[in-house]
Structure 1
């Protein structure tokens, strides 16, 4: 495809070279699995030891050498409330460099279809619920992860700018809270769901009588299994073309207290659950309006209870690695 040529969404060529940036991470590995299942035969991925995406020259050399036709940018520095609050410079600087390097190199080598993955934290803290795509840049961000959010907003803007200036049909997708096999279960860097899984699993194993969780338990959160996310990524690349980012989620949410109860039940923990209200809650509610995605023909399929049980099984099977 030449720059500026009219594009109509269509099935991707299963034999074309397809680069997944961040293919060993939670989302990237799920995308890789989905593409393999769908018959893509020329997938390209590089671990951080092979290709430092913050090294601009190395990224450009990689694109010049491999010349992928399609790409998903799932590489990012990610973390939960504690990590985002403690290391805002890292979350801003590292993610900006990763994005600018990959997007600039992909544009120079005219990658035909590129999907940029962001996060629902791009939306204002008090955005009207459920959050529509149009809420972007209409209010103040949540202070605990504003640095990460600004980096992701910059990525959306760069994709839109490439569309306007170069005519490449690139798109952006904004997933809700993701979980599943390959998640980060570390005590310092994990998000709420893997943190709860680890905490309750350890409590059940040790026979602890009490488990203390952060905050009040009242915030509402939406959770999407990464295998559903990967399915949505391919669907969007084959069925959507537009400048706006597309929300990806289930359209339903639960309170953190409800989530903790589901995890405790899956783990088999029957002790007392307490809440440390001196710790931050974060955004009171973060539910995405997924009507645009639904109108394109895609809805989530993996129920939360089913997904949590599968993730717990993965965590227990791989505990030697994730507990290091």
Structure 2
């Protein structure tokens, strides 16, 4: 199995999960396995990071002087025939077995115990490109992980900066002001509008040709349209300095979002990133000017009410700026812990 993960700077990491033939297997099966693995590696671009993860059923030993660059100085045991195949393959493709490059106790390196000799061996590996060894922090066996298998779980900590996914946010849906339904006149108006809309689609709802999903979509759209026409949408509880009707700031925000999407698509391009940063600075300057003008205007308005000693409009203007005070209920347990008191 293979998995290709996008990284930053327009790079990728390819993970290959595999299971090699055992030592008693036929030579044809082993040749076929390494031939398939060789073809898979050659299809991977040269700039990709490679991680080979799996049970190779091979003992590579600890002769790091002969297999320099492939083996580290902290191997385990003696190499067998399958291990020589794996070492030759890694040498051809400039790969390194990360299990052997970290100095640690044998119990953190060995992964499988032979059922007859009761000796622990290293046959599961995490293999990377020789040029990417610096990205691997540690490779070790997790002795406490129980997965109903005779192999210990192997863990490798690797430094990779994964590219964040590109999420395009659509327009936000406005919320209906359902509190207006407490008013009898608004409630009657909503009921009349809904009855009129449902009456127009009575034939389509009673028809057996339409599925249940189609009927529900018709009913839900009628409910939403009737509510939008009669009770309307929620408005903000406080006044905001941001002017949504300003064409200048809206154009700048559209340019900023467009430049941001272009930067995410090509993170290695310096021109797109510089353009995005330039537009961000322009948006920041424009919003600061808008905010300062709004606060200056509100300050003069509130000060004028204070000079006239008009406390009613003074406090109303302050409430419009800061919004209503939210009261929260905090539940507390009594000393015996058997009951809850709300305060």
Give TM-score, length-normalised by structure 1: 0.29
Q: Which has the higher contact order (CA 8 A, sep 6+)?
A: 1
Rg larger in 1 or in 2? 2
Give TM-score, length-normalised by structure 2: 0.27
